[in-house]
Structure 1
Amino acid sequence: MVIGMLSMMMPGSGARAQETPPLKVVVLGDSLTAGYGLPADAAFPVKLQKALDAKGIRTDMINAGVSGDTASGGLERLDWSVPPDADAVIVELGANDALRGTDPKVPRKALDEIIKRLKARNIPVLLAGMLAPPNYGPDYAREFNAIYPDLAKQYDVPLYPFFLDGVATVSGLNQADGLHPTAAGVDRVVANILPSVEAFLRPVAGQKR
């Protein structure tokens, strides 16, 4: 009986592992995060949480997605969207800036400030990149697309290059507007980004134990 009690108290035991609270992860984004046109349980953060749980990484995903939001909008609500006890943040912003043809300097400045503030709060960041649509021409695309790798390098944060990789322009994976993923599209996004999120969160989880 005593041996059994001691084993339950040993570091790394199953009982101790169960006591570790889930990571509080905020997904700061736009309609792609919010789950536009989908049931609440089909939104990206919900499905990502389930996928991570299956990998043994317990999370409490906070859906801080606002449909129509720009990078500047995400910056304006950053302080109240990311609570003081957040363990990590996935930043998914910029798609609406690209769709509107906004000067790339504007989302670059906003994303720069978002990452800078989160780093100042010692909150790990995973940056999810976006690509500009082709209709604004190659010069615009070149300047816009460079935002994410540049900032990831500048602040030494992990980058998932294109949030909609394998989903954008695929008719069967997008809603009628051609912009927002269907539930199956979200599944594809989650499957594609999962290895990057897992690599991002495992060290964070290790520090929390």
Structure 2
Amino acid sequence: MVFVLVLGMGGMPAGAAERPVRILALGDSLTAGYGLAHRDAFVPRLQAALAARGDAITILDGGVSGDTSADALARLDWALGDQPDAVIVELGGNDGLRGLDPARMERNLTAILDRLAQAHLPVLLSGMYAPPNMGTAYAGAFRAVFDRLSRRPGILWDPFFLDGVATHPDLVQADHIHPDPAGVAVIVRRLVPVVERLAQQARAGRALSGGPG
């Protein structure tokens, strides 16, 4: 099962808060925190930011460094074993770095989103760009995949996971790809309001299904 990171709710007595919304962060090294101390990685930093705002949200760490969209699809059912209420999908970076066929990436991501829709799980899809050295034709085809997927009904859309980070040398590690701790802080600050909207969708889904919390 994926690693579960839970922070306390500021001393609230047991039963005082609703059951936390469980959100799976399904991704690659950007989610997993490659090159960072665990406390500085995306999932712990996002969890801490949400807890500081009093949000009853638990983030499930489903990031695996090196994963392509195909790898994530292959392990999706396993990742869903912890029964999340919603999912953040952050994938595609390794497809781009390896120059994999954007059409195949689109099939993989579509299959992931279809599976999540079948499970009635709200989704936040975070987009990606291909590395500039892959050429304009590849970059255009790559980005078009995310543009199409972003228009799926019900999808919450974050256009670029590394927005505000990728072009700032002081916010990335020496590999010029992965965010450093300051870069992760920028990403988390931007995504917290969107993740809160995702949690609201999950709670609305619970209410419609008659589930707890």
Is the deviation greater in 188-197 or in 49-58? Answer: 49-58
List 4+ stretches of structure 1 deviating above 4 A: 14-17
Identical pairs, percent: 45
The Cα shift of 1:15 comes to: 7.6
1:169-197 deviation line (CA, Å, top 9, x unaligned): 31111111111111111001101122222
The letter of the residue matching 1:144 is: F
Number of matched pairs: 196
Alpha-carbon distance in 1 for matches of 2:15, 2:128: 37
User: How large is the Cα RMSD of the aligned pairs?
Assistant: 1.8
Contact 1:57 1:202 in 2 (8 A): no
1:49-91 deviation line (CA, Å, top 9, x unaligned): 1112223322221111111100000000000012252101100
Contact 2:122 2:154 in 1 (8 A): no
Compared with structure 1, are the counterparts of its residues 24 and 104 closer, same or farther at alpha carbon in structure 2 (3 Å cutoff)? Answer: same
The letter of the residue matching 1:42 is: D
Normalised by the size of structure 1, how large is the TM-score?
Answer: 0.87
One of 89, 109, 133 as aligned partner of 2:131:
133
Per the alignment, residue 57 of structure 2 pairs with 59
1:17-50 deviation line (CA, Å, top 9, x unaligned): 7241111111000000001111111111111111
1:100 matched to 2:98? The reply is yes
| Alignment gaps of 5+ in structure 2 | 1-11
When you count helix as a share of all residues, which structure comes out higher? Answer: 1
The Cα shift of 1:148 comes to: 1.6
Alpha-carbon distance in 2 for matches of 1:35, 1:84: 21
| Alignment gaps of 5+ in structure 1 | 1-13
Alpha-carbon distance in 2 for matches of 1:126, 1:137: 28
The letter of the residue matching 1:130 is: M
Q: Which has the larger radius of gyration?
A: 1
Alpha-carbon distance in 1 for matches of 2:147, 2:49: 26
